[in-house]
Amino acid sequence: MDFNLGEEHLAVREAAADFARNELLPGIIERDNAQHFDAALISKMGELGFLGMMVSPEYGGGGMDTLAYVIAMEEIARIDASAAVMMSVNNSLVCWGLEKYGSEWQKQKYLVPLASGKMIGAFCLSEPEAGSDATSQQTTAVEAGDCYILNGTKNWITNGNTSSICLVMAQTDPDKKHKGINAFLVEKGLEGFVVGKKEDKMGIRASDTHTLMFSDVKVPKENRIGEDGSGFRFAMSTLNGGRIGIAAQALGIAAGALDLSLKYARERKTFGKPISEHQAIQFKLSEMATKTEAARLLVYKAAKLKDEGKDYVMAAAMAKLYASDAAMWVTTEAVQIHGGYGYVKEYHVERFMRDAKITQIYEGTSEIQKLVIARELLK
């Protein structure tokens, strides 16, 4: 067991941290207020290889392992959780799923531009009546000659307006229930494909979250991923890896809040000395650091298991469950340490607290993670 990172992983950490500090930090409060993410920043992330990190070099990706990816995710989320979720969806859900399950034609047409950031992807599973119960898909895809006719609504879609290609789960045979679900690559611009309202969110406000609507959209048969009826298995397998990415995002949020709290505690003085010298603050910082490090170890373990080709389902669920809870707790304490200053946007920690909450909800709620863990323990 080696807890030391190699040169490649350290270089990834340095590159991601440098980009986050120099490119993402400037203007971050303004982007949060405006609920807008600069397209130029997305392009830079693509140029630096952050949008296709685990994609094979033959498809234009970085060919890196999952550990490198979560290290980069932590550093990006340490500054900007909105940028991190866009990065997570493109890497974990879209690129990874497409490379593992897509046809060679699909990879050449879609994966190559996705890996470089020339195209951004979205993962469309959630619906108004299908959140945690992903088997209850109401979106339908009816076979019609050389295409499928797609009808339905997807909500809470990250990169909903920014994306050029969407991975859409739809029911093709209701009698088969979840075994009748398929996954489709649906291009923006197709007739009947409408981007709905942008969600006014509590956190990750600069990220692009929309409702997507499909009305008699004609999707070519060659855009179906995998064998007929494999869509639910595709979605669940992809989400297992996606949970590692969101766990890394939560870890980064916690780490960022801890960084700011340490800095503030050394500078802020009460009763004639820095508050870092007060035991009450020291206890908070100690527990914040311990929870953050424990989350990091769980995230790294899940990533390593995935890289080694071992079963990582329970490890991923544990990492997401613990890291998201840690992020919520650490950021709340960060606001408390900052006192009144923690409640205003200038000091950043209130944004971290708002951003942390979603990590307990998306890509499987904390309650779903507990069910996954229990299922794995008892099987």
Please give the positions annotated as active site: 363
Residue 335: which of 262, 261, 277 has the closest Cα?
261
Residues in the chain: 379
Q: Determine the residue type at 332.
A: T
Q: What is the DSSP letter of 218?
A: E
| CA gap 11, 9 in Å, rounded | 5
Helix pair angle (81-88, 39-47), 10° resolution: 60
Residue with tokens 């307990």: 360
| CA gap 69, 77 in Å, rounded | 12
DSSP per position, 252-296: HHHHHHHHHHHHHHHH-EETTEEGGGSHHHHHHHHHHHHHHHHHH
Residues forming a β-bridge with 321:
none
Nearest-5° Cα angle at 232, 228 to 236: 140
| CA gap 140, 110 in Å, rounded | 23
- Beta carbons within 10 angstroms of residue 373's beta carbon: 17
